[in-house]
Structure 1
């Protein structure tokens, strides 16, 4: 609910709810397993835009879930402040000469919250569970199919989970067999889907697993306290049983769900919380504030074209016209107003360097589709002639939040103004329905986005191969498929050649006008200067809290 006028009473109520830690939504029965940090310890008070959808690594597919999974669990590796994998449960690994077998040596001093040792068997069970079709995981098959040996066959129910290429050679030696050499596999293991699970505990909890504090088991820097699946507040509390507990400086981090940006800002300026996101309408007011910070992101927003929706969108010239017919610079400067930058390609800027030169991938491949009214008009007239029409109505699907609503209204106005005869009908729905309509391909145009799951262009480029679970547009080009698939097969051990394929594939994507890039996101925030050591990751969990601290 939007609160246009923030009252003193509401501010006081929310302030109290944060300062007394978290509301007891479980009536003292669930979600209260651990003890809160002692008064006077190091504490940060933060907000979250929504409740945590799930704390089950096999089921997580959203930003919030991955943030709190990363804080409470430890995988083989985790990302440091330079987004480089550093020791987690694994202390070392070796890779066979053919690149297909990875052998991880695990530390023997890591424990689960209940005192059980963390072993190779926990990784075997978790990875098998993630691709088991009975689990119904979205990210398990997406992350492992074509990477882990037999993952595709397992996820399709063709072979039993025991055939997945993961084994425990002994308690502290974990062996992974790959389908093909995978240059980015080490960074992939930092992702939430690959976190271990204590099989005995998970099976004991049954359907209740990961629904509350009492049905979770941490092995990471923090435990999550006073949480259940409907909670509007919770805490991360230092896990004294964590193998590297001496490194963890924070005693507690509290989180309160605050949906209204103005409410969040009021809490920040009152000193009740230590970090908030700013929407476009708040940036001008606070960009001169000493605590104002813009953090570049790696999410790329774009318009998807459903080529199966109608004859017009099957036409390359119609799609090419739409992609060039709206002023993206004005959009990021005036509509978003949060430091986001124009996107003229798919792979984001400052994401991954070329293997040999170190140049940024985006700079090397350049701008592939830019705002150009004259070119847009030429493509448009050519496309209309090819489909035998002089006017066209298209529906643009998007989520219904305030920021997106303003953006799509701007884009619709630009398109109808710059492309004579085009009418854009807006369809704005809740996120869950937008995802459902997308998965069923029941849309024409759609505002979508993608953020990376690992540090490699493949995380973007494989979206549009024929048959990809994310290619919900009816696009298929054998040459594009060949270029992308070669990077995971015949060229897998030649990174320089892989990147040349990526450059060619991305250019082909825009020659085919498959999507219309809009912008690369940034996050405008107010962040207390006392916060130290909170890393913002370019992929996986947005925030890394292991090294968090507060200035003395």
Structure 2
């Protein structure tokens, strides 16, 4: 074994020690021992060990806007509804749901449940949290507009006060929600973490420390977050006071932040984790393993352009960038994880029109062409911008996959577009999001997972000043069409509007550069049963998961 190989092995071993000791999860024992059940008897083996691609950016449900936080919130908190094993909304804290004749006033009666400090969960907790979302202009406040909740859009436009949001606690057990118009997606939307409750007294007592550490939080879901070591991992334990605790089989879940795929594989092979995402290099090694699988997801990986940039603000330059990238080689040669090329903003295979035809099939591909066509557009765009070349940077997360994709894009753009130079700037995941929100980048490698099962979850991102826009893009025609589609009750007419919104974004404006529809190559031990991976909203539900040796 050469010195270089020895150093690599030493680094991996040191990584194990740092990860496991830093988190203090006792993972080396957890595969054979449980932590004890509600009655004090130990339940052998009911411990799940998983990897996570990044630390939790925030545990404040009113501020969360990423998949990592949504998954944790989904498992430690409970809202009115949650997704079941088939990804359908089921009653969670709702004991009874009634509505008026035109389906604009919904009354929810809450079941008995309590927070981890022993206080009851009340209708006031929902009213407080929802109005806090609107008051603080939280990243996902647009979900209240999507849900058609009365006055949400006016509040977002600063035309009304957050206190005028159409949600009201009638008494401790009764929550009244008023809509602008009937919304058939309401129950599905209410499964989303932005609609979770918060205990006002506790939040205000914590002040600016709220949600910064595990001890600065309250829980009312299947699990409690009992440890959180930033940038290393966190630990869940079963919540014995959860209203449906009998359905929860796991005693403990240990989540490790693993940004390096080699470390992740070694953690799996040494039985420190039970489920791990694989990098492209590892796919070849494990593709014949019985525990190997690939999953095509409804997630979009794409390039954001800063539309204020003197060169990237040019449509022809953006079209050229789209055309200059060989997306099939990116997915088939570089990633090899089940991802597929994408030339639209709505992924394939998940959304159909009323006749059952896939959205992607109906709208086809946008901004495709030869390298020669890309070069012609690029030269014209540079001329219109008054420059002969451009040096731009790309904002990425410091993960293996992002680095790999960015290096591929760098090679493609610099080779296929003479005069284009791309610099890579890798930062922690949470910092990448902050850079995007501040629009302090040239290009940003971004991802978007659907919040609910409808194409609109990809299409209303691009509204002017929307929290998901993050690139100063604006087309009044798109904004108007989104507003119309939100209130259109004719399914066929609405779907045509959705198709046209995508055409405005990509055909008329070439506003972003879609790259691929995300796939995941995973290793998961067959002893894990009932781990639910949702295509929309929070990614994982552990409520029904168990370990069967």
TM-score, with structure 1 as normaliser: 0.87
1:358 to 356, 361, 373: 356
Deviation of the 1:543 alpha carbon: 0.6
| Residue in structure 2 matched with residue 128 of structure 1 by the alignment | 131
Structure 2 residue 512 is matched with structure 1 residue 515: yes
| Residue in structure 2 matched with residue 49 of structure 1 by the alignment | 53
Note if contact 1:53-1:229 (Cα within 8 Å) is conserved in structure 2: no
| Residue in structure 2 matched with residue 88 of structure 1 by the alignment | 92
Structure 2 residue 77 is matched with structure 1 residue 73: yes
Moved more, 374-383 or 59-68: 374-383
SS in 2 for 1:102: strand
Note if contact 1:153-1:159 (Cα within 8 Å) is conserved in structure 2: yes
The 1:280–1:362 alpha-carbon spacing in structure 2 relative to 1, beyond 3 Å, is same
Separation of aligned partners in 2, 1:194 and 1:36: 34
Note if contact 2:23-2:229 (Cα within 8 Å) is conserved in structure 1: no
1:498 to 494, 497, 510: 494
SS in 2 for 1:324: helix
Note if contact 1:452-1:538 (Cα within 8 Å) is conserved in structure 2: yes
| Residue in structure 2 matched with residue 409 of structure 1 by the alignment | 407
Residue pairs, 1:208-227, within 5 angstroms = 208-225=209-226, 227=227
Measured on the aligned residues, the alpha-carbon RMSD in Å equals 3.0
Note if contact 2:16-2:267 (Cα within 8 Å) is conserved in structure 1: no
| Residue in structure 1 matched with residue 188 of structure 2 by the alignment | 187
Separation of aligned partners in 1, 2:394 and 2:253: 37
| Residue in structure 2 matched with residue 445 of structure 1 by the alignment | 443
The 1:432–1:111 alpha-carbon spacing in structure 2 relative to 1, beyond 3 Å, is closer
SS in 2 for 1:487: helix
Moved more, 288-297 or 380-389: 380-389
2:531 to 531, 534, 542: 534
1:480 to 478, 481, 501: 478
Deviation of the 1:71 alpha carbon: 0.8
Note if contact 1:239-1:245 (Cα within 8 Å) is conserved in structure 2: yes
Separation of aligned partners in 2, 1:497 and 1:457: 14
Q: Deviations over 1:255-309 (max 9, x none)?
A: 2333332122112112222111112222222222221121222221222233321
The 1:297–1:504 alpha-carbon spacing in structure 2 relative to 1, beyond 3 Å, is same
Note if contact 1:327-1:371 (Cα within 8 Å) is conserved in structure 2: no
Deviation of the 1:171 alpha carbon: 2.8
Deviation of the 1:540 alpha carbon: 1.9
SS in 1 for 2:392: strand
Separation of aligned partners in 1, 2:378 and 2:11: 51
| Residue in structure 1 matched with residue 171 of structure 2 by the alignment | 170
| Residue in structure 2 matched with residue 324 of structure 1 by the alignment | 323
Separation of aligned partners in 2, 1:424 and 1:351: 37
The 1:416–1:123 alpha-carbon spacing in structure 2 relative to 1, beyond 3 Å, is same
Separation of aligned partners in 1, 2:23 and 2:232: 14
Deviation of the 1:384 alpha carbon: 5.0
Separation of aligned partners in 2, 1:362 and 1:186: 26
Note if contact 1:394-1:444 (Cα within 8 Å) is conserved in structure 2: no
Deviation of the 1:158 alpha carbon: 6.0
Residue pairs, 1:220-259, within 5 angstroms = 220-225=221-226, 227-228=227-228, 230=230, 232-259=232-259
The 1:296–1:8 alpha-carbon spacing in structure 2 relative to 1, beyond 3 Å, is closer
Structure 2 residue 100 is matched with structure 1 residue 102: no
| Residue in structure 2 matched with residue 464 of structure 1 by the alignment | 462
Note if contact 2:403-2:426 (Cα within 8 Å) is conserved in structure 1: no
Moved more, 67-76 or 43-52: 43-52
Deviation of the 1:319 alpha carbon: 2.1
Q: Deviations over 1:121-176 (max 9, x none)?
A: 2211211222223xx6333x333357432335556776554322111223332111
Deviation of the 1:217 alpha carbon: 2.3
Note if contact 2:279-2:400 (Cα within 8 Å) is conserved in structure 1: no
2:544 to 532, 542, 547: 547
SS in 1 for 2:44: coil
Deviation of the 1:99 alpha carbon: 4.3
Note if contact 2:259-2:400 (Cα within 8 Å) is conserved in structure 1: no
Q: Deviations over 1:196-255 (max 9, x none)?
A: 122333334444433444433221111222x24637343222222222122112122222
The 1:213–1:508 alpha-carbon spacing in structure 2 relative to 1, beyond 3 Å, is closer
Separation of aligned partners in 1, 2:16 and 2:155: 53
Separation of aligned partners in 1, 2:420 and 2:126: 53
SS in 1 for 2:450: coil
| Residue in structure 2 matched with residue 111 of structure 1 by the alignment | 114
Query: What is the total number of aligned residue pairs between the two structures?
Result: 530
Deviation of the 1:461 alpha carbon: 0.8
Separation of aligned partners in 1, 2:447 and 2:53: 18
Deviation of the 1:378 alpha carbon: 4.3
Note if contact 1:276-1:527 (Cα within 8 Å) is conserved in structure 2: yes
Separation of aligned partners in 1, 2:390 and 2:153: 40
Note if contact 1:120-1:173 (Cα within 8 Å) is conserved in structure 2: yes
SS in 2 for 1:167: strand
Separation of aligned partners in 2, 1:241 and 1:183: 33
Separation of aligned partners in 2, 1:408 and 1:75: 38
The 1:37–1:523 alpha-carbon spacing in structure 2 relative to 1, beyond 3 Å, is farther
Deviation of the 1:343 alpha carbon: 0.8
